Chain A
């Protein structure tokens, strides 16, 4: 049965990578379409007219946008190796932490990367508050999903790669020894067979984020 599974992504998008991981976990074959976000394809704009962003999954002609929506769609459609457990309390818990990452962690890390002086101090203070909760949540757990990899792990996944890159580029210490459980999780997550070789090329990432950092911190 010929099935159309197309993923519009970019080489560096942490959001697209979540979908790549989900496909790997479930053993799903897909066609990858790499976009140049400075020159978006007509197809991408057609499939995601609201946000015009990646990732977009097209399954048998049906487009789905927003990575967390895509992850749940994948779990609803392909039942092997579930990303969310059966228990509604556990499902709600992982969804809560996925939302926390999107609405709290991601904006704060961006503020840390792009600001200076007092704004940076405030961003760091917010980050510390956020990490306290994340560290607490990992108590007694191997992964955010509990015993098994779950949606929450895939959503937090960017930390395992990007924190190192941001620290290298900015010279800031962003996740330090106050967060042993999170540091352990970052290592464990990175070592998982499905995650291991999926990170974008390190040198390319450093170049990209170095340029971005310099844009926000012009030499005086």
Chain B
């Protein structure tokens, strides 16, 4: 079942982190290959010719692209342990809906918070908090989005937690002040080894973004 598993990734990518978490949850041995996005490897371009992006999961030589698709693939192939999607179709649909919501909203809003200033930044901050509050509401009193178990939506969202520090510093606001339950959830997830070892250090992310802004000429 295992075969050869390779992950082409980039350490600060919250999308790569999702796949790392899924692989760790299932205790799958794999080779992690760091990509230099300014100098993409021939393998990356060959395995993801359409988007030329990371993460790319390569299983027995076959590429799987797009992080949530990778997480579902991992859940389907290694279906004998640590299920990420529940068996009930309605619960699966709910999980897919909220993971898709995270995909539609959080990355772009977060990027606007660290890239922009003034009105544009304020609007992005406001909308980001609204989206996080909506997610917090969905969590309710459950320990995880998956209910009592860590699941698909948890995997989709938790990587953004290591980026919150960056959003907060550039946006001069506190996500914890607005969404305390969500931060409590994130800290709970960080207690899991699969999450703790997959997320990047938040200060390193901040430094990375500082350098990136300089390189892009963004003040």
Query: Which A residues lie at the B interface, using CB under 8 A?
Result: 50, 59, 62, 64-66, 68-70, 72-73, 76-77, 88-89, 91-92, 95-96, 99-100, 133
Q: Tell me whether B96 and A69 are in contact (CB under 8 A).
A: yes
- Does B101 touch A at the CB level, under 8 Å? yes
Which one of A62, A66, A68, A88 contacts B77 once the chains associate, using CB atoms below 8 Å?
Answer: A88
Query: Which B residues lie at the A interface, using CB under 8 A?
Result: 49-50, 59, 62, 64-66, 69-70, 72-73, 76-77, 89-90, 92-94, 96-97, 100-101, 134
Q: Tell me whether B50 and A100 are in contact (CB under 8 A).
A: yes
**Nearest neighbor of A77 in chain B, beta-carbon distance:** B89
Which DSSP category, helix, strand, loop or mixed, fits chain B's interface?
Answer: helix
- Report the separation of the CA atoms of residues A88 and B64 in the bound assembly, to the nearest whole angstrom: 10
Chain A contacts of B89 at CB under 8 A? 73, 76-77
Kindly provide the distance from the CB of B88 to the nearest chain A CB, expressed in whole angstroms. 9
Q: Tell me whether A73 and B90 are in contact (CB under 8 A).
A: yes
Which one of A69, A91, A96, A133 contacts B76 once the chains associate, using CB atoms below 8 Å?
Answer: A91
A72-B93 contact, Cβ under 8 Å, with A50-B134, A88-B77, A133-B50: yes
Q: Tell me whether B93 and A64 are in contact (CB under 8 A).
A: yes
Q: 14 A-B contacts, Cβ less than 8 Å apart?
A: A64-B93, A66-B96, A69-B93, A69-B100, A72-B92, A72-B93, A73-B93, A76-B93, A77-B89, A89-B64, A91-B76, A92-B69, A95-B72, A100-B50
Kindly provide the distance from the CB of B24 to the nearest chain A CB, expressed in whole angstroms. 19
Which one of A50, A72, A76, A88 contacts B73 once the chains associate, using CB atoms below 8 Å?
Answer: A88
**Nearest neighbor of A98 in chain B, beta-carbon distance:** B69
